Structure 1
Amino acid sequence: MGLYIEAHIRADLDELWARTQDPAQHQRWDLRFTEIDYLPRVPGEPQHFRYATRVLPFLTVAGTGISAGEKERPDGTRTSALRFASPHPLSLLAEGSGYWRYVPVSDGVRFLTGYDYRPRWGGLGALADRFVLRPLMGWATAWSFDRLRLWLERGITPERARWNWLAEMTARALTAVGCAAGLSQGPVLDALSPAVAFLVPLLLVVALSLALFAPPLATTPAARRCLRTPPTRVTAPRVLGTLGRQS
């Protein structure tokens, strides 16, 4: 699989399963989707679903998919797999597949995903995917996993977590701009006493460094908290092979 994300979530396995398998709850924490709806299920067939993603305020791309899960496995883990496709001509993502794994550990669950997809638009699409979409998808998945973790561990709803992130990013940006502007005021600093002229730039540099490099607050979701490289060699679950291709 092209992308791999893993989060360690200190929560009950059943609760994690519910908040990832219920479309109404899934769409609340997953930044990649605006809407997820299960379609009427045909007995004996995998679950079909429809998804939509708001790319811009005036542009929403939609697609369909199929999924299947293994809730009871001999080793105590659980697995969910899916295939998906979007026929929308403006969707760079044409089709793909992936899985979620739920691995119980002593203090919670290792919740991990592996997925890959095929971009459209030929060579131009391949370049756009490599340098824009794929890094963005990796970040959005990791950020969403951490938002889910905050919901389960701390009771911070996905909506509150989003506002926490926006508030922190705004505060960091304003601090960085203010510090940069202050450091650029050479003539003003020269007019101050030597001690103050030395101390003010030092404080501005410290504040700028904190705004740019300080770890995110504990109540703010952050992609950096997730593992982005598999610790060992991983393979797609067998249940993925039972799902037909989407088109």
Structure 2
Amino acid sequence: MGLYIEARIRADLDDLWARTQDPARHQRWDLRFSEITYLPRAEGEPQRFRYATRVLPFLTVAGTGISAGEKERPDGTRTSALRFASPHPLSLLAEGSGYWRYVPDGDGIRFLTGYDYRPRWGTLGALADRLLFRPLMGWATAWSFDRLRLWLERGITPERARLNWLAEVTVRALVITIACTTLTSDAAALALLGPLAPTAAYLCPLLLALAITLALFTPPLPGTPAARRCLRTPPTRVRAPRLLRTLGTPR
């Protein structure tokens, strides 16, 4: 699979399964989707669904998918697989497939995903995907997994987690803005320091550089979701579950 994301979550397996398999709860924590709706199905058939992603305030891209899950496996793990496609001409993502695995591990669960997709728009689309869209999708998935972890482990709702993230990003941006503004301000202010001016002129850029570095690289607060907390490379070679091969094509 092209993208791999893994989070270790200290939670009950049934709770994790419910918050990832129930569309109403899934769409709350997953940044990649604005809406997920299950479609009617007959007993024993895979579940078909519609999804939508709000790309801009005035643009929503929709698609369809088909999924199936294995809630009881001999090794104690669970698996969910899906195929998806979007006919929307403005959607870079044409079609794809992926899976979720739930692996009990001591006092927690390794919740991991692998997925890949085919971009549209030919060579231009492939280039845009490699340089921008695929890294963005990887970040969004990891950030969402950590938001889910905060919901299960600390009781921080997805909505509150988003506000925490926005607040922290705003503070970091303000620190960088103030530092850059100070660095480029009129040097005449240093003249007021008299004989200390040369020392201040030497120290100010260093202090400002330190402030910018801290704003960029200080670890996020415990209640703020962060993609960096997730594993982005599989520890061992992974294979897509056999369940994925049983699924048909979305329609």
Shorter-chain TM-score tier? over 0.9
1:147-166 CA-to-partner distances (Å, cap 9, x unmatched) read 00010111000000001000
Aligned-residue Cα RMSD (Å) equals 1.4
- In the alignment, structure 1 residue 241 sits paired with structure 2 residue 245: yes
Contact 2:150–2:225 (CA under 8 A) maintained in structure 1: yes
Superposition map of 1:196-207 within 5 A:
197=200, 200-207=204-211
Distance 2:161 2:51 in 1: 23
C-alpha distance in 1, partners of 2:180/2:235?
40
CA deviations on 1:59-89 (whole Å, 9 max, x unpaired) are 0010010000000000000000000000111
1:211 maps to 215
- Equivalent residue, structure 1, for 2:21: 21
| Structure 2 letter corresponding to 1:222 | A
Give SS of 1:229's match. coil
- Unmatched tracts of structure 1, length 5 or more: none
**TM-score, normalization: structure 2?**
0.95
Instruction: Write the letter of the residue equivalent to 1:48.
Output: R
Cα distance in structure 2, aligned partners of 1:192 and 1:153: 52
Match of 2:146 in 1: 146
- Given residue 44 of structure 2, which amino acid in structure 1 is its aligned partner? G
Cross-structure match for 2:226: 222
Give the TM-score normalised by the residue count of structure 1.
0.96
* In 2, Cα distance between equivalents of 1:80 and 1:191: 67
Instruction: Kindly report which structure 2 residues correspond to 1:125-136, keeping only aligned pairs within 5 A, or say none.
Output: 125-136=125-136
Asked if 1:8 is matched to 2:12, the reply is: no
> What 5-or-longer segments of structure 2 have no aligned partner?
none
Which piece of structure 1 moves more, 189-198 or 96-105? 189-198
2:101 match: secondary structure = strand
Q: Report what 1:66 is aligned to.
A: 66
> Which range moved further: 144-153 or 199-208?
199-208
1:132 is paired with a residue whose SS is helix
What's 1:76 paired with?
A: 76
Amino acid of the residue matched to residue 235 of structure 1? R
Partner of 2:172: 172
* Amino acid corresponding to residue 89 of structure 1 in structure 2: P
Deviations, residues 219-238 of structure 1 (Å, cap 9, x unaligned): 11000110000000000001
Does 187-196 or 27-36 show the bigger shift? 187-196
Stretch of structure 1 that moved more, 185-194 or 27-36? 185-194
Q: 2:215 & 2:18 partners in 1: Cα distance?
A: 37
Amino acid at match of 2:110: R
Q: Helix, strand or coil for the counterpart of 2:43?
A: coil
Shift of 1:119: 0.6
* Offset of residue 44 of structure 1: 2.4
- In structure 1, the residue matched to 2:155 is 155
Residue matched to 1:44: 44
Aligned to 2:235: 231
Match of 1:191? 192
Q: Retained in 1: the 8 A contact 2:48–2:250?
A: no
* Separation in 2, partners of 1:147, 1:237: 25
Structure 1 residue 190, shift from structure 2 partner:
4.1
Higher deviation after alignment, 40-49 or 231-240: 40-49
